[in-house]
Amino acid sequence: MRPGADLSQEYFAGLDYLLNEKVDEAIESFIRALEINSDTIPAHLALAKLFRRKGDVDRAIRMHQNLLARPDLTHDDSLRVQMALARDYYAVGLLDRAENLLLEIIRQKPPAKTRCNALSLLIKLYEKEGEWAQALLTADKMEPDEQREFRVELAHYCCELAQADIEAGDSRQARQYLKTAASYDDGQVRIFLLEARLEQQQARWRQAIKSFKKAHERDPLFIRETIAELQVCYAALDQSKDCVKYLKKLMAESPSTSAMLALAEQIRDQRGSYAAGSYITEELKKRPSVKGFNRLMDIHIGDTSSEDGDDGQNRLQVLRGLTGQLELSKPVYCCNSCGFSGRLLHWHCPTCKRWGTTRPIQGLEGE
């Protein structure tokens, strides 16, 4: 059989193994292909990619560096190898090298697809470093269609910058970033939560209430993030009746444990503990939850009369301690993409690295 035919057979055999997720067999086929003809660029690139996938990034880097040293490398092949080498550097954490190489690729005015790939990886690199402003500037170099692929990420980068400005007291710049975030993706609930926080910071209570309500309209599951702050805003305006009216509206349209407990607090302030306990009991019959049950026990413990004696109160306190531990041991948020869960809200999932996929848990142990 002719060497060219042997090369073709080994190369395509490697591709077949790769498609069937047989990485070790694919590596062996590509190595044999290189033994037949060491000048085959596609086989080198495929083999180096497999090494990177298996975690042997140093070997992939050496292969790509050796390819770049070839004097007969065409311009297009050189760009392909440089992109592959940049991915190697990114994978192994050599971010400065990856950044410099990607910027060099862009300066060479590559074809549209290569330029888009380089800009995309550069955005991810700046994300990894927390360089949100640099990521936004890089995205501005993309074509509109290419940029839309990153709209969720870009909105969150703006939110990260806005959050930092809110903490620093720079309300003007924070508002500008939130406006830019909305231009990328106006459906992000985080934008309205930050907007409400900004309004609260400036004691603009009515505007804060409006923003909190918008956040709830965008995603009712985030009621946990809005309800306590809404009560603060209504209290600052001395509008308890309006607060109760809104809470009742929430319970009618999208009932949740957080809204139910907030309304129970209002009932307790106006009509006493017995009425609040009765309300919680009736709601728990419809939507049982650990958090609601614990609040009901708190009311009973506080209202236990002397006729019940110390034993009755002690038994309630022991039970409350056990159910309290159960509540504290359970996650509050869960990523819809990878299933990561925890008690803190991560807008950027620590596991799958996706933005905006973490949401409050529903059901008996949640809302």
CA 178-245-188 angle, 5° bins:
20
Structure tokens at 194: 């930050």
pLDDT confidence of residue 11: 61
pLDDT confidence of residue 27: 63
Yes or no: say if 47 and 34 are a contact pair by the CB < 8 Å rule: yes
Mean pLDDT for each consecutive 10-residue tract of the chain (367 residues)?
A: 48 61 66 53 78 85 87 88 95 96 95 96 97 97 94 97 96 97 94 97 96 93 91 94 94 90 91 91 90 84 59 69 74 92 94 94 72
Average pLDDT, the chain: 86
pLDDT confidence of residue 41: 77
Strand order in the sheet with 333-335: 341-342, 333-335, 358-360
318: exposed, middle or buried (Cβ count in 10 Å: 0-12, 13-18, 19+)? exposed
* Positions of E strands within 128-247: none
Measured in whole angstroms, how far is the alpha carbon of residue 200 from the centre of its chain? 25
Quick one: DSSP state of residue 348? B
Distance in angstroms (rounded) separating the CA atoms of residues 118 and 289? 49
Structure tokens at 105: 């690729």
Cα→Cα distances 143→113, 122, 124, 204, 311, Å: 11, 15, 17, 39, 72
Compute φ and ψ for 143, nearest 5 degrees: -70, 155
pTM over 0.85: no
List the end-to-end C-alpha distance of the chain, in Å, as a whole number. 69
pLDDT confidence of residue 297: 84
Structure tokens at 279: 């309300």
pLDDT confidence of residue 88: 95
